[in-house]
Structure formats: structure tokens, C-alpha cells
Amino acid sequence: MESQLVLMEQSFDSRYSCHVREALDELPDSFTITDPSLGNPIVFASRGFLKMCGYSKEEVIGKNGRIFQGPETNRRSVMEIREAIREERAVQLNLLNYRKDGTPFWMLFHMSPIFSKEDGRVIHFMAVQVPLSGRKKRPSFNGEMNFCDDITFGSCRREVYLDSEVEADHALKANNLDSDMENTDIEEPCEANELEKRRAASAINNVMSILTHYSELTGRLVSPKKCCIYETSPLGSSITTSLSRIKQSFVLTDMHLPDLPIVYSSDAFLKLTGYSRHEVLGRNCRFLSGMDTDPSTLFHIKESIRTERPCTVRVLSYRKDGSSFWNLLHISPVRCASGKNAYFVCVQIEEEAYKSRERDGLSVEMRQRSTVGAVRVALRTLINRP
């Protein structure tokens, strides 16, 4: 637990100067900051947020939004937040969440991406929460039980279970909670007024102002707007044809473009993940991460990429439809004809599918190395790398 807390704090502190936490803690607003490169766990929570929800910092840092969910949390709102994260844009909506003691409350949820000014990639998401007051109330059960509606409070990378409400109803009946649980009041949903919207906008500006100032002190500037546009690297038809003959699931990312965008994806990769090619090209591989992806594994991947060294991990990945699978992932740098590292090849093998297939004499390691070797052969003619 302590090591995970340190990892999350390092993720945040590496971008700003050492006094940024003290400055943020001076703000009265309720807000969280998450890191999408680690699967979007919370890496900073304001004092106002902790006071509002009743959690300690140790209970929140490194966690996803599961601890804030409840039986009445709206799935459609969850999906709106999730799509905003995928599209790297801001979102504002009314949301029902639950405090640590199980009491529900409505709030105005305003989330906004934070971009690196150097290369335009999203480095953090900040989410401001403004409690909504003066609403009509209706009776409901006490919200002490947590069901898998998967609301992410400043973090929403896992798919929402479509049958969560059914599961909640079954659980209530099975445990005879009609007679055992105390009735509480849940506020009826209502639009936030202009004052509450202004409070959210003001809080976003206050947080962004502090982050901008303290990023300037480290030379790693941040911005509320994307400063450049991702581009994909043209490989040429002959290279693409050679790569298409490789039947294993893999993607190729360009290490000389901002945020290592995917510049080639195999048909097997598209089949494995459920995405189409246009949904994959130009994106960083982090979109395969989800709510239960281990942040320490993602950090290990980041370090191997930073040092341009191969790595092999077992990581929980997610398909487009939200289903998860254990991904036996191997990442290796590959050189072009100039002899310099130009790309990373990322080979994916679904663990369960590999175990269920008839053995053909090739181990997982041999399959991964074979794929990397085939990609290296296909890229030998590339000379247009710096």
C-alpha cells in the first residue's frame, strides 16, 4: 500500500516543483487529479474533496472510482465521462456519488484534460466536484453497498457493466434488505444553477493556474489546450505489405513522434481487441488499460520505454467491448536502416487463448521473439529516420 502511494505521488511530482502540493492544498475547492498513463488512478486529492467524501488520502490515492459508486449512480453519466477521457476533452454533468459512510449526494462534476505544452499529449485529468444543494428528495435505501456501476470520480477507464442494476436488485432481494436497511433520502436529479457552474469553472482555473506556475519552475510546461496535433508516420506500401504478412498480434509505435502513437496495427491485433484500424492509428497504447490494470506494471512499461530497453510483462488489458484479458505483452525497440532505434514493436498474446490452443512447439517467448524478428526484417529498408 505504501509503495503504491509513493508511486502515485512520484507520477504527479515529476512534472511540477516540490511545493505544488502545498499550493494546491491551500485551495478550498474539491478536486482530484488522475494520471492516464498509469490507467488513470487518482494521484492527488484536495483537502476539500477528502472532507466532502469522508476518505483519507491513503484510502484514495492510487484508487479508481469504484469506492465512490453506488446503486443509484447513473450508468449513462459514467459512459459520458469515459468517452470524454477517450476523446481527451472536457465534460460537465450532474452526478450522484456516495460518501465513505454510504450517504449519497448530488454534485456538479467538471473534468478537464491537462496537456503537455512540449508534445501535446494528455498527462493528467483534473476533476472538480461542486455539491448541489437545495434539491427535492425521495426515499431510498442507505447506500452502504457498492455495486459495479463503475463510476470514476476523476478516473474512468473501465467499461460499465450493463447488468449492474439487475445484480443490485438480486442482491437486495437475497439479503432481505427491505427490512434491515434504514431509509435515507436521495436528492432528485436537477440541473446545476449558474452560480454552481461558475464555481466549477473558477475552481478549474485556480487549479490550472497553480499547475502552470509550478510546471514552469521545472521547465516541463503544461497547458489546458492541446498545443500540437498527433501525426502518423508514413511507412510506405511495401513496408506495410511486408508487415501484413506477420500473423501475430502486434502494433508498431513511432518513438520520434509525441506520445508514441501507433503507426501500424496487425489484423490479429484488431481481432484481439475489437477495434477498427482507424480507431487505433495515431493513439498511444494506453487505451488498452482499464480500471483493474496494475499501475506498477504500467510504470514498469514506461521505464522500459524511457530507457529504450525490451520488457516482458503480464498485464490486464481491455477490449473495445469492455471485456478484459490477460495480455502477455512484449515490447522491444527496433532499428531502421540507419542503425538507430526508431520504433517500438509491442507483441500481444492472450494468455487464455494460448493455453487453450493445441501446442505447436512454440513457447510464448519464442512467439514474441519471432514476431519482433519479422518486424525488424520488414523495416530494414527504412532510412528516413533521424
**pLDDT confidence band for 17 (50 / 70 / 90):** confident
Beta strand 341-350 with 250-254: parallel, antiparallel or unpaired?
A: antiparallel
d(CA 317, CA 289): 5
Better-predicted residue by pLDDT, 152 or 224: 224
Report pLDDT for 158: 36
**In the 8-state DSSP scheme, what is residue 189?**
P
Report pLDDT for 4: 62
Please state which of the ranges 198-202, 253-257, 354-358 shows the lowest mean pLDDT: 354-358
Does residue 287 sit in helix, strand or coil?
helix
Q: Is the pLDDT of residue 101 over 70?
A: yes
Q: Is the pLDDT of residue 10 over 50?
A: yes
Query: Can you tell me the mean pLDDT for 304-311?
Result: 93
Report pLDDT for 102: 92
d(CA 316, CA 284): 16
**pLDDT confidence band for 155 (50 / 70 / 90):** very low
d(CA 16, CA 22): 12
User: How far from each other are the two terminal CA atoms of the chain, in whole angstroms?
Assistant: 43
Q: Is the pLDDT of residue 185 over 60?
A: no
Supply angle C-alpha 316, 332, 334, rounded to 5: 145
Name residues whose C-beta falls within 8 Å of residue 352's C-beta, 6 or more positions apart in sequence: 325, 326
d(CA 310, CA 254): 15
Better-predicted residue by pLDDT, 122 or 310: 310
Q: Is the pLDDT of residue 378 over 80?
A: yes
In terms of Cβ atoms closer than 10 Å to its own Cβ (0-12, 13-18, 19+), residue 219 is exposed
In terms of Cβ atoms closer than 10 Å to its own Cβ (0-12, 13-18, 19+), residue 302 is middle
Report pLDDT for 124: 92
Q: Is the pLDDT of residue 133 over 50?
A: yes
Report pLDDT for 70: 85
Work out the percent of the chain whose per-residue pLDDT is above 70.
76
Q: Is the pLDDT of residue 318 over 90?
A: yes
Q: Is the pLDDT of residue 55 over 90?
A: yes
The amino acid present at 282, given as its one-letter code, is: G
Q: Please, where in the chain does CATH 3.30.450.20 lie?
A: 2-223, 237-378
**pLDDT confidence band for 116 (50 / 70 / 90):** confident
**In the 8-state DSSP scheme, what is residue 145?**
S
If you write DSSP's letter for every residue of 210-230 in order, what string do you get? HHHHHHHTTT--EESS--S--
Q: Which residue has the cell 494468455?
A: 351
d(CA 248, CA 243): 10
Domain 237-378 sits in CATH at 3.30.450.20
**pLDDT confidence band for 145 (50 / 70 / 90):** very low
Report pLDDT for 190: 67
User: Where are any strands of DSSP class E within the chain?
Assistant: 31-34, 42-45, 91-98, 104-116, 122-131, 137-141, 183-187, 222-223, 250-254, 262-265, 311-318, 324-335, 341-350
pTM value is: 0.54
Report pLDDT for 3: 60
Q: Is the pLDDT of residue 130 over 70?
A: yes
- Give per-residue pLDDT as tens, 31-49: 999 988 888 889 999 999 9
Better-predicted residue by pLDDT, 233 or 23: 23
d(CA 325, CA 322): 10
- Give per-residue pLDDT as tens, 289-302: 988 999 999 999 99
Supply angle C-alpha 29, 33, 37, rounded to 5: 170
Q: Is the pLDDT of residue 141 over 80?
A: no
**pLDDT confidence band for 152 (50 / 70 / 90):** very low
Q: Which CATH class is domain 2-223?
A: alpha beta
Q: Is the pLDDT of residue 123 over 70?
A: yes
Torsion sign (Cα): 86, 274, 153, 40: negative
Residue pair 317/339 in contact (Cβ under 8 Å)? The answer is no
Report pLDDT for 272: 96
364-378 and 237-244 are packed helices; what angle lies between their axes, rounded to 10 degrees?
160
Q: Is the pLDDT of residue 257 over 60?
A: yes
The mean predicted confidence, pLDDT, of the chain is 80
Does residue 151 sit in helix, strand or coil?
coil
Better-predicted residue by pLDDT, 214 or 133: 214
